[in-house]
Amino acid sequence: MLALEKVLTNNATIYRRELRLMGNKFEISVVGNNPAWAVERINSAISEINRVEKLLSTFSEDSEVNTINRNAGIKPVKVSAEIFKLIDRSLQISELTYGAFDITYYASEKTTDHDNTSVLTYTKVNYKDVVLDANATTVFLKEKGMRIGFAANSKGYAADRAKYILQLKGVSNGVINADGDLLTWGLQPDMEPWTVATADPRQETQPFADMDISNMAVATSVNTEKYATINDKKLSTGKSPNGFTVSEIKSVSIISPTAEFADAMATPVMTIGVNAGIYLINQLNQIGCVIIDDRNRVYPSKGITIA
């Protein structure tokens, strides 16, 4: 169902459609003055998101990702340029975040010992065990049982690709809301910049709701963990082991030119903490962040002003 919002005297209108894609709620919005034109273009964006989901699937036996995983520890796999570049960018983000972001994981396997007893084997793997050959466009996972997956950045990549398709088809202004992660380009129908609140009214209570995010992406990671386990004892994350109250990160929002990068960086910045996270983001060009702690204190990176 196509929804209309904000009709103005110049007949420019925001056409929105909300649906579930890649296991997430997507809302695709385009600015135009023709409902049929808007429907056709939103359908093209949906088709592209579905293509990306199939491309990155670990459930389809014939997917490139599954072929890479099946040949872990066996041989390099020749892949498409699209998959190769996505893996290459993912490894660069791993390097940037000192491994806090990592597309690799290990599928534990059961073996039997000499007493015919089942034994679980574990191998520690990380992004450094992925070998890329740019000349041959091959990917090799060094360890048998090693796997890669794109759960942490696939949503952002799909949003970037959908935006690209929409722009090719003449959509000069729009928003893609991927389950709260926002990607905008152009302007609103009234020629005002997109803000967090206009791109997603559900975020109008955020301290940075009025931030100009036109032609940028914003991805937010929320800390849903309530407890941490230390020495087999469950502790509230609001207190340290000695009983003193400590400050925890409540949410991290990354502002970036691409949704893929913003999506990938949000959780790692939360993992490394306020000071290290702000320091890391401040070293990067065209990247910003807003961190909110559990006392609702706001920590913006350089260049970001919170009213």
CA distance 252 to 271: 10
Q: Where in the chain is the domain with CATH 3.10.520.10?
A: 1-56+155-307
Four-way CATH pick for 64-148: 1.10.3470, 1.10.620, 2.60.40, 1.10.3980: 1.10.3980
What interhelical angle do 81-96 and 259-272 show, nearest 10?
A: 30
Residue 228 has phi, psi (to 5 degrees) of: -125, 145
Q: Where in the chain is the domain with CATH 1.10.3980?
A: 64-148
Whole-prediction pTM? 0.85
pLDDT tens figures, 14-55? 999 999 999 999 999 999 999 999 999 999 999 999 999 999
User: What pLDDT is attached to residue 50?
Assistant: 97
pLDDT tens figures, 224-260? 764 343 334 333 344 333 333 345 899 999 999 999 9
- Quick one: what percent of the chain has pLDDT higher than 70? 84
* 3 state SS of 3: strand
Tell me the pLDDT band of 59, cut-offs 50, 70 and 90.
confident
- Region 191-200: mean pLDDT is 95
How far are the Cα atoms of 71, 73, 218, 222 from residue 128, in angstroms, in the given order?
17, 14, 28, 28
pLDDT tens figures, 129-161? 999 999 999 999 999 999 999 999 999 999 999
Four-way CATH pick for 1-56+155-307: 2.60.40.1120, 3.10.520.10, 1.20.80.30, 1.10.3720.10: 3.10.520.10
